Amino acid sequence: MEQDKLREAFEDAFEVLTQHSVGELQYPPDHKNHMAFLNRYPHIRGNYSCCGMLPPEERSYNWRSLTNGSANFCREESFHQSLQSITGNQLVQTSLFQQKGGKGRRKLRLFEYLFESLCNSEMESCIQWVDKTKGVFQYISKNKEKLTELWGQRKGNRKPMTYQKMARALRNYVRTGEITKIRRKLTYQFSEAVLQRLSPSHFLGKDLFCSQYGQPDQEYLSLNHWNANYYGYGSY
DNA sequence: ACCTTCGGGAACATTT
DNA sequence: TAAATGTTCCCGAAGG
């Protein structure tokens, strides 16, 4: 009984944490890891509301829930403060290159794959940060096809993925506001809401979003304001 | 002129 | 079944 509760608590905590990271998810295989995890992050105790996540049965992965979730996440000061002890890398490494078996597994999305690649030093020759804090990144012209081919393989596409096709998918992101195109060759920018989801630690210390004085609805305004500046990257 | 990059329409496929 | 999320193909434009 006690073990079941502990296990549930861990699963909640792990999911909460990894939902704000990137990639496909997997529960660790044994209970030792559960315990080690909880000991390492005792502030995360399997409360979905601690970062605005819905319980699994209510959760949907559309854009609206993503932005709402990140807004709620930013309102939770205690969780915000707790995360200060976790680096972006730690968050990423918790779930990168992993798969969640069993319930609720979802597809890896392209922007998650891009973020994952940006955090992977082995992909530096293919894609790099231009301004990590603002989520601006750039494909490396010479090797970008390697990155796209790996994406295609990972998705198990019928035909090889190309930059042309990946860029087409990115333009869909531009339409939905998840990514903006920077007026610079091969350069894009994650939207702030996407960045918050992928790596909340990006925003630690940014009073723009996590201020205790901030109003929840302001996120959308600030998001627009933030994106409105994207033409200003001509100096890069 | 050529190549690369960009932008979008449209049909189609897969997953949730 | 419908919606979400790409994937694939195509065409034309812009810029170096």
- pLDDT for A211 equals 30
- Which nucleotide has the shortest C1'-to-CA distance from A183? B6
Which of A13-17, A61-65, A122-126 is least confident?
Answer: A61-65
Amino acid whose CA is nearest the C1' of C4 = A62
CA distances from A166 to A144, A206, A209 (A): 10, 31, 31
Global pTM reads 0.60
What would the mean pLDDT of A52-68 be, rounded to a whole number? 36
| Whether A187 CB is under 7 Å from strand B | yes
- Which nucleotide has the shortest C1'-to-CA distance from A174? B7
Residues 142-181 of chain A in contact with strand B via CB under 7 angstroms: 144, 156, 158, 163-164, 167-168, 171, 174-175, 181
Q: What is the pLDDT of residues A128-141, one digit of tens each?
A: 999 999 999 999 99
Place of tokens 């100096």: A235
Residue A83 in this model has a pLDDT that exceeds 90: no
Amino acid whose CA is nearest the C1' of C6 = A169
- pLDDT for A57 equals 33
pLDDT grade, residue A55 (50/70/90)?
very low
pLDDT grade, residue A45 (50/70/90)?
very low
- Which nucleotide has the shortest C1'-to-CA distance from A163? B5
Q: What is the pLDDT of residues A194-223, one digit of tens each?
A: 998 887 665 554 433 333 222 333 333 333
Q: What is the pLDDT of residues A89-130, one digit of tens each?
A: 334 333 333 333 334 457 899 999 999 999 999 999 999 999
A160's tokens: 């090889």
Distance (Å, whole) CA A215 – CA A217: 6
Amino acid whose CA is nearest the C1' of B15 = A107
- pLDDT for A63 equals 39
What would the mean pLDDT of A184-189 be, rounded to a whole number? 95
| Protein-contacted bases of chain B (C-beta within 7 A) | 4-10, 13-16
